[in-house]
Every structure is written in structure tokens, then in C-alpha cells.
Amino acid sequence: MSTRVFVHPGCYQDSARLMQVSRELAALPGVSESVAMMGTQTNRRLLADAGFPESELAHASPLDMIVALRTDSPEALDAVKAALGRLLEGRGASVAAGGGSAAARRPGSVAEALEAHPEANLVSIAVPGPYAAFVAHRALDAGRSVFLFSDNVSLADEVALKRRAAGLGLLVMGPDCGTAILSGIGLGFANRVERGPVGIVGASGTGIQELSCLLDRKGVGISHAIGTGSRDLSEAVDGVMTEAGLALLARDPGTKCVLLVAKHPAESVARRLHGILAKLGKPVAVRYLGEPARGAVDGVLYAGSLDEAAEAAAKWAGARAAPAVIETIEPGERGGAATAQGESRLVGLFGGGSLAAEARCVLAAHGVETVVPAGKLSVRAPLPPGNLVVDTGDDAYTVGRPHPMVDQTVRCELIRAAGADLSVRVLLLDLVLGDGAHPDPAPELVECVVAARAARGGRPLAVVVSVCGSRRDPQGTARQEDALRHAGIHIASSAALAAGEAAALLPRVREEVAR
Amino acid sequence: MSASTVSASTLNASASVLLEGRLDVVHAGIDAVAEAPRSTGATVTVVDFEPPSGGDPRRMTLLSEVLSGPKAPEIDAANACTLAHLLASRPHLVGIGIARDVIPGMAEDLFLHAGPPVTWERMCGPMRGAVIGGLLHEGRAKSTEEAASLAASGAVRFDPCHHHDTVGPMAGLVTPSMPVFIVEDRGGERAGARTFCTLNEGLGKVLRYGAFSAEVLARLEFMRDELAPVLAAALALRGPIDLKHLMAQALQMGDEGHNRNRAGTSLLFRELAPAVVRATEDRERAARVLDFVNGNDHFFLNLSMPMGKCMLKAAEGEPLSSLVTVMARNGTDFGIQLASMPGRWFTGPALQVRGLYFPGFSQADANPDIGDSAITETAGFGGFAMGAAPAIVQFVGGSAEDALAATRAMRRITLGANSGFAIPALGFAGTPTGIDLRLVEEKNLLPQINTGIAHKDPGVGQVGAGLVNPPWEAFHAALEALAEHVRAAAPPPRA
Amino acid sequence: MRSTAIETFLDDAMNPVRVLKPLPCRELDPLPGPVSRASLVLDLACIFVPGRTRALLSGQGGEPGSIEETVVKWAHARVRSLVGTLLSGDVRVVAYRPDAAALTGLGPGLTPTGDDLLVGLAAMSQRLVGGGLVEARAAVAFSTSLAGLPSEETTPAANRLLQNASKGQFPSVLASAVEMLGNPHADPESLRTLTVRLAATGAHSGADLLAGALALVHGVIDGEEKP
């Protein structure tokens, strides 16, 4: 008679499955007793008292499943190991939908997928908006957190989902959550960055991406980046998931400091969050995109740019200061002779609203007033006047089309249109790399810029691109930067830096002489 | 504006699992979004996503309420109880009686029929033919014309068999003087409950297909005057027969209890033969009775059906339960009922059966789906046990693997499996049992029914066999009602 | 006929409905119906008590020498002690801690049996305050002791249940059954239905929750005092 203990770490098995394991193993020949229980302190004590080897029990935790056995032969033990393997993979005696060729067949619904994979701990949803809330609730039904990439989910549904999730102690990241990185695993559009001590909570996907890349360039890794969806800090949603994310990072031993990024939080929410941030217990920096710097308030740093926030975090993480990437603009390249108002302007074409907001903020600080054109720009009509900043990720451009981070068609058309307009002297772009994005965007962009320049009869067109990419991104950040550089395109490592350079490149406006 | 109810200790419970180093993702939707977790080393399981409930926004809201809403766990618990009652039932054949004597609510001017309520005007050909035959059999009319005008006049009332704990195959006509099997529940909490069904006439030109010729009437008389009394006496001698036991064996011998009943009939024959011989001194009579049973491969159907009805009757009445307890057709409409609202029909049009036709016939000749025999699928066998009867697939033009696949598919819409009805070809897994309306809607998957096809003209008979589904309308209507029922569910009484 | 077929079914093999959901909780009805010792006695006669619950209430169950037998014995002893402390009216949180700590994390299940017993007991103690059968401050002291149990000692799912219970929030299937127990105006059929439904919840969580609640009922009826 020998006793044996198997410990399966992090093994999420519902009680019915635990019972099934106990029962099926007990029925095997040569097994006189088998019991499957979670590794709580009391159970470990119980098993130790019953004569099971303590040393094997010592390492189990309440998140682990312990299978304790009394067998009378080594052969019985082999049979047990095989049966246990089968049971944990979910191939029990019942008719699974799919049966013998279950491996080949995909589950037909989230509920079934979770039943077949009890070890799954997250549901990622990118179905059309009208169905997303339904599916998210099914994930919550099964006790799993949700990464909700889908947009076009109603506000009422979002509030209901997040309140329910909060009550259950689960996360609903979204709707309209473009990016998250948990335990080093990317979700949605995410850059491949190292693990490290900086935690991020963000209502802006690209905001999270740029922060993670800026930190990556400084050699600093992140612990987790928790996305909350773009509307989380609105009054109706009241920051439920932002608060949840902050609480998680506050308790996470791997997180030493925290960054928060969002666009235009509601007053009341920002105020409440401030209280929470001030008492978080770890250094915090906040970037509310589009807002000017406010410095430290009650110990919370309200940065004026993503760069500033990343810089603060890097310092807290103990990194040596590293220079930002920015191609030095030769003096000769700057604007040239002054021109009349309206004769030389800037057009910014961004893949998303967050970096567009960042750029506008910096441009304004440099005295360049920008305007966001109402409605969709047509490539056949002349561009409206003024310094334009366009978010090509806006609904107007994306209905029926893939996301601009994946498909550059719309942006390229607009580049050509801007190029054809001789009053446009500077083009400001963002290029966001990482998983989920276009596999090789720089060459396409270069081709576009070259064509645009060729149609201007020699009139210069300066192009500045902020490259949001990490050292390990699949597109090869260095390679992308090289391609741009060789085409005479200025590159910068952040939207703020790029905007600053774009402002410098714009010819000064000649003072109108009063007649 | 209430603050979130998040607290550190609550979070410790579940979301923190995500920060512990292992992410195992289930993904539904655009595949590009699953790229990131895949590339960074997570296990990703992709779902073959289909919008639930046909993508209809209003229905999805109702469905979400009953699947994920605050009362959903109570619905689950109610369903668990319902299924437990169903599986705990022990239907036994205890006797044979005359309809007017044993069927509750039977009356001299009442004819019972298959499916949900229907008027003479809306009855299909086979059902009208059966009514005419019934009137002739009862002696209420002397000619076809007289019978037809009598039926149209309202002199005879019509009511679904289901309203009287009865079931009938095809037209399912039950008249007051017809003999019926008496099936009694001898297990479970609802012990003592009884269900009824007429005896199976055989194949070809029979009343249940709307035939009413002299041959049909003569056979009905034989069944009433010889067959039934002898079998009743035999049963009295032998004692009650455990039907689940027979069914379980038959399922392992190639039957599924709806379209294939040969093994069940053979087993029944074995049980009854000695008692039949002892029940009558007239050897020729005994021989006629045994010949009759022996000559009808579907004789057992008229026992598997009331057995199913008995199991489902045990499941009725549990408030909040979303389990389907009745699926029945009258040749014009298809009706279903839920455990939580017994007696309430949700209907839609009966559909055309997809299948193979006997030589000389085609879909143009077919009557829409008809009969109470869908009670077999509702109770978790018949089409739900197709994997046990691969020979059936000949009728549906498929392979043996298709039969197994069909059974596995049904497991997706049922609450559990009946381990008492084990299917050898599926590793002795139990048949999928307990259709949950919510799962049907969520997975856009209707129950699959194996059935015979009747000629649309009365009196011609069976013209083929195949597969059919209920209409979506019936399930959609039931979903609306369930949502309302759940919302209105009263809290427990208190002083 | 008081058949035991459903008992056998619920006791037996696997529960057919895999309830993977965390149970939503709610507060007990703030206007409790009356509760009397006499009606509790009557109720015990007509409610549904599955085999597992009976084992936990009697302290006897499982194969001799098996882990299951030990779990049932340990659980029974600790619950009995808690019932005694509650009925003696002890208002010190520290009086309940040792037994609660011994129960948390005990036994099989994603929510271990011991935790379910604690939650069932807490729900019933709150209900019986209404009838004056349990001292209000003793019930509060007991609930508070649940909040202080170290979270690492049991599973996350059980932690959540305990935290909710300490705040007076219980799984609605438990709350519904507990609210009706002891109410002289409740009809036996509904009471039985609610206890069946509770027992059918989860793989055995329902049976364990019921055992916790009934342990206190038995204690009240038998007039137990702290030894």
C-alpha cells in the first residue's frame, strides 16, 4: 500500500469535475482511495494527518488541486497517472460535443469553450458590437474576466457589465479596449515588451502602447497594462474598471510604480480618482491626453506628455536616463523663408485619437493652432483650410473598413491629397507597430510619400513620423525606422516629440503689415 | 452615483489570477485580435462564433436575462430539479383500458388528436381522414360524407392528446371506445402518475395515416375486441413491465425508439408471449394476437411514446424551469411546452420533412410534420439516440458517422445525459436529455427529429422517412414567455 | 408518497447541470416572517434533506477510514461547537474564530465544504435573530469572525462567499430557503421545493450550505447550550 500525492498548480476545476476525478480514480483497479481537493491549509493538514507525505503537500496552495491516492501497486499508479491526464484534458465519459474528433472541431460558443477548457482564465471578445455584451455576460457567468475589444456596445450595456463584473471580482476590459498586456501576454494591438516594474492602467489603447514603447526604449519593462475601454472615465461608467485595475496593481508585488493614461475624464471621476491615486501606496504618474502638465499634486504627477510620464516611471524604476530617439533636424531643413498666413500649413494624419490629441497639445504649446475637420475628408475635394489634425480611426473613416493600424489605404489616399495641396508644408504621422498591426507598414508609407512629393514640382514637403515600436516587435522597429529614414522622413520616438519637430519645421508666418 | 463595489479582497478572489503569470484565452471574433496572445505564448482557443438567437437584438436581451441575469442561477437549479425528476421516473406498462374508462377528461363527444389544438377547418388531410375513420368506428356515422359533415358541425369536440396525459403517433386519434396502453410511473416523487397511448395498428393503410377503409375499420375492431383484452389479461398475469429497462436494452440492439422499434417490439414479444398463451384458452386467438404483434415492427413505438410522456410528466411544474417538456405536431402546427408553464402551448408552422421517399413518391406528395411521436426526442431518445441506430441513416442518406455526429450535436442543447440509456457506439455515453430552451436559442441549434412522412391525402399512408426540425417561431415565443415568467416569479410567501 | 428517488439521484453520480457560475448573493428579506421553534420542528419533517447533508449533521458518513469520513467528523464537531457558542449568546468575535478557522478550507470542492457550512450557518443565524431564537449581537459577532479569516487559507471562490456572508449577503438559493424555514405561514410544498432547489445547487455546495443552516435549527430545537 503506498500513498501518493499529485499537486496540480493553478488547476481551475469546478466541483463537479473534482468529484468526477475522485470517483473515476477510485474506480481504477488497485486504487483503494482517491480524493481530489483544493490545497487549502486545512485540507493539507487533513491529508497529512491521514498519512499522506507532508513534504509533497507543503507546496500546495488553495489555487492548486491536490489528488491524494492510496494504491497497492506501481501499475495502479501508472493507470492513475494516465486517467488523471485524460480527465484534466476534459475527455471524460460524457458525450462531449464533437466527441472523438473534438480536437479538430471548434467550440460553437464561449460557454462551451469554457466548459471544454476549464483552465482558461480570460475571454477575449472581438465580435460585432450588438452581440458583444451578450457574450461578455456569458464569460462572467462562468467566472472569467473579459478583454472586450469590440466597440459599438451601448453605454447602458457597458455600465451593467462593469458593475456586474466588479461585484464578482472580475475585470471587463472594454468595450472599445484596443490594448492590454497581462503577465507578459499581449491582447489586441500590443507591443512586445519586457516584464518589469511599471504597471499601466489605460482608457486609451494607443496611449498604453506608446507608454510601453517609450519605457522599452529606456530599457524598462512593464508588469501589466490593464485596459479599461475608452469610456471608462465617463460620468456614467464612473471609472469602475480604472479603479479595479489600480487596486490590482497596488496589490501586485511585481508592480513598483503605476502609470494612468486616458482622454478627457469626467470632472467628478477625475476628482475621485485623484483621492485613490494619492493613497495608492506606490508612485503614480497620470497622463490625461490633451491636457497641459500640472506637476505633482498630493504626490501624484500629472504629466504634460506621455514622454514625461514615461520618464518619471523610468526614474522610479531606477533606470539610467536614456536619450529619446529623435532625428536631428538640420537647420537648413527648417521652414525656409517666412510665408503669408495660410500659405504653409501642417496636416497631421493619425491612426487613432489618442496620439492625435497628444500632438495637438504639443503643437498648441508651440504656437501652432490646429483644427480637427468636421466630417470625413474627401480626397477629391480640396482640403479645408488651417492646420489639420485628422484621426483616421474615427468612425467616419472606418465604417466598413479595417482599422487604420492594419490597413493604410485611407491614410495613403489622404497623404497624396495633402501632397497635392501645395500649401501643405509639413506632414505629421504616427506609425504604431506591434502584434495585430500591419506586418510591414513603412515601405507602403514610403511609397506614398514619394509619390506625394513627386507631384509637387519640387516644392518641399517635410514628413515627420512618430514610431511607436519596441525592440522585439514583429515588424522590426529598427528596420521600419531605417526605411523611413532612407526616404528622407524624420522620425521621433513619441507623438509629442514628433509634434515638436513638426512645429519647428513649419515656416514662420510673416506678420501682416497693416495697410 | 454609486461607486463601484470593488474592494481589494473581492478582487483577490478572481481577477488577480490574470496577473499570476499564466494566461489561457478563449477568443471569439476577429482573428487578428487573437494574434497578440498567440505570439506572446498564451494558449488560445478560438470559438466558432455565431450570433445567438439569430442575432435578433430584442431576443438576445431576453436570452441574456435568462442565461446571465440575476435569476439565472435559480433557473439552473430549477432545471437541475426538473431533470432529476425526469431521470428518476420509472414508467411501467401496467395494463390496457378503454379510453372512456381510463383517460382523464374523456367524454363521449370528445376525440383526442396529436399536436397542439386545431379546428376541423385547419386540420390536414391525414388528420381529417383519421377523424372520419374514428366517427365510423364509433358508429356515429355510416358514410364518409355523413362523418365529414358531423365533424364540421361541431357535434364532436377535438382536444390535444397532451391535455389528457395521452400521446398518439401521426394523426394520433383517440376515440372513446379505443383501447389504450396504461403506463404508470413507479419511481420518483411523482409516482402513481399515468399516461396513455393507443395500440399501434401496423404499417401501410392505417387510421393514423388517415385511412378509413373497411380494412382499417375491421382492424380497429380486432384490436378492440381481441387484441386488447388478450394483452390486458396477459399483463395482469405477468405483472407490470418496466419500460425503461426494455428501452435501454433496445438502444443497445439498434433501436432508437422512434423510427426504429424492431428490437423493442421483439423484447416486448418475449415478455408477453407466455402470458398471452396462458391468458386465453383459444389457441387461435392467442396466435392471432401474437401474429399481430410480431407482424408490426413499430408496435413498441406506442409504448416508447407514453413512456416518454410519463418521464416528462414527472418533470412538469417546476417554476422557472426552461426545460422543454412537449414537442408535438398536428400536421398543420408544431407546438412545444416548457416545464415551468405546463399546458401552455408555443406554436409555429409544422415544416416539411427532409428525407427519402418510397419509390413513386416525392416531396410534392408529402404532408407537413405530424404526430406526438416527437415526445421521444423530447424525452432524450428517438432522434437524440440516432447514434444507437445507424441503420436509420439510410432514410436520411447519411453515413454512420453522421448519426453519431447528430447525437453529439444534440448534447449541445441538453442539460444532461441519461446514463440509463447508454449508446455503445459513443463509448456508452448516455443519450442527451433535457432540452433547454435557452441553449437552443444561444446556439441557434434546433432539436433534430427522426420521423415518418405521411401522404398529404387521407388514406394513402406513409410515403417516406427523414429528419425534421421544429419551427423557430415556437421557440422564440417560448423565450418571450419564459422571460416574462421569470420576471414575474413571486418571492416566497411570508406572513 | 415521500419518495427518495430524487434524493438518490442528487446523492448519486454526477449532478447533471454543471453549474460553473459564481452564485450571486443577496441580503435576507429585511422584514422577516415570524419564526417559532414549533414551526421549525414541523418544517424539519417536510423539507428535503439529501444524504450528504444528513451525514454532516450526524457526523457519520463515508467509508470507514476514508478521508471523507474524517472530513465529515471534523466538520460536524466544529459546527456543533459554533452552534453552541451562538446559542449561548457569546458576543465576542474571538469566541468564534478558532472553529471558523478550522472549518475554512476544509474538504472537497471549489468552495470547500467547511466554508459552505459557515455560510449556511451565518444565513440561518441571521434569520433566527428575527424570532428571538438567536441573540442579535452573537449573530453579528459570528458574521464578523468570517470577515477576518485569512484569505490564503481557502480558495478564492470560497473567500468571496465568506466576505459576502460577513456583510449579510448570501447566495439567493440559500436566502430563499432560509427565509421560509420556521415561518408558520409557509406552505410545505414551497418549502420542500426551495430545499430541493438548494440541495441541487452545485456539485455538493447546496447540500453543504443546507447542512450549515440545519445544524443551527437542530441546535435550537434540541436546546443546546455551550458546554
The answer to whether A38 touches A65, Cβ cutoff 8 Å, is yes
**Would you say A430 and A468 are in contact if contact means Cβ atoms under 8 Å apart?**
yes
Residues B27, A126: contact at Cβ < 8 Å?
Answer: yes
Beta strand pairing call for B462-468 and B354-357: antiparallel
Residue in the structure block whose three cell numbers are 450557518: C121
Element (H, E) at C178: helix C172-180
Pairwise CB contact (< 8 Å): C112 & A168 = no
CB A384 within 8 A of CB A373: yes
Q: At B131, is the secondary structure helix, strand, or coil?
A: helix
Q: Does B52 touch chain A (CB under 8 A)?
A: yes
Find where cell 453552541 sits: C84
Longest dimension (CA), chain C: 47
B67 touches chain A (CB under 8 A): yes
> How would you class B435 by CB atoms within 10 Å of its CB: exposed for 0-12, middle for 13-18, buried for 19 or more?
buried
Please check whether residue B424 touches A, CB under 8 A. Answer: no
| CA–centroid distance for A282 within its chain | 22
Q: How far is C121 from chain B (nearest CA, A)?
A: 20
Shortest Cα–Cα distance, B4 to chain C (Å): 15
Question: Is the CB of residue B78 less than 8 Å from the CB of residue B340?
Answer: yes
Contact C145, C97 (CB under 8 A): yes
- Interface residues of A toward C, Cβ cutoff 8 Å, are 13-16, 18-20, 22, 33, 35-38, 40-43, 46-47, 49-50, 61-63, 68, 114-115, 141-143, 167-169
* Distance of residue A274 Cα from the nearest chain C Cα, in angstroms: 27
Chains that touch C (3 or more CB pairs under 8 A): A, B
DSSP B223: I
Are A110 and B26 within 8 A, CB to CB?
yes
Q: List the single residue in A with minimal CA-CA distance to C108.
A: A37
**DSSP secondary structure, B406-448, as one string:** HHHHHHTTEEEEEEEEEEGGGTTEEEEEEEBHHHHHHHT----
What is the Rg, in whole angstroms, of the alpha carbon atoms belonging to chain B? 25
| Cα gap B301→B258, rounded to integer Å | 6
- Cβ-Cβ contacts under 8 Å, A107 against chain C: none
Question: Please, which residues have CB within 8 angstroms of residue B357's CB and are 6 or more apart in sequence?
Answer: B363, B365, B366, B453, B463, B464
What DSSP letter does each residue of B461-473 carry, written as one string? -EEEEEEE---HH
The answer to whether the CB of A136 falls within 8 A of the CB of A148 is yes
Closest CA to A129 of A103, A157, A98: A157
Among the partner residues C24, C179, C187, nearest to B70 by beta-carbon distance: C24
- Cα–Cα distance between A469 and A432 in angstroms, integer? 6
User: How would you classify residue A413: left for phi > 0, otherwise alpha for psi between -120 and 50, otherwise beta?
Assistant: alpha
pLDDT tens-digit series, residues A19-69: 777 877 888 888 888 888 888 888 998 898 888 888 888 888 887 888 888
Instruction: Please report residues of A whose CB lies closer than 8 A to that of B10.
Output: 166-167, 169
How far does B222 lie from chain C, in Å, by closest CA?
39
**Contact at CB, A169 and B14, closer than 8 angstroms:** yes
Query: Which residues in chain A are contacts of B30 at CB distance < 8 A?
Result: 126-127, 149
Residue ranges with strand state E in A25-64: 31-38
Chain C CB contacts of B83 under 8 Å are 16-17
Cβ-defined contact of A117 to B60 (cutoff 8 Å): no
Q: Is B451 left (phi over 0), alpha (psi -120 to 50) or beta?
A: beta
Instruction: Provide the 10 A C-beta neighbour count for residue C37.
Output: 14
Q: Compute the nearest-CA separation of A356 from chain B (Å).
A: 23
* Backbone CA torsion sign across B46, B51, B57, B60: negative
Q: Please list the pLDDT of chain B residue by residue as tens digits (495 residues).
A: 223 333 333 343 468 878 887 899 999 998 889 999 999 999 999 999 999 998 899 999 999 999 999 889 889 889 988 998 898 899 999 999 999 999 999 999 999 999 999 999 999 999 999 999 999 999 999 999 999 999 999 999 999 999 999 999 999 999 999 999 999 999 866 789 999 999 999 988 899 999 999 999 999 999 999 999 999 999 999 999 999 999 999 999 999 999 899 999 999 999 999 999 999 999 999 999 999 999 999 999 999 999 999 999 999 999 999 999 999 999 999 999 999 999 999 999 999 998 888 888 888 999 999 999 999 999 999 999 988 887 777 666 677 788 888 888 999 999 988 888 988 888 888 899 999 999 999 999 999 998 989 999 987 888 888 889 999 999 999 999 999 999 998 554 433
Model-level pTM?
0.81
**Nearest Cβ partner for C160 among B13, B80, B417:** B13
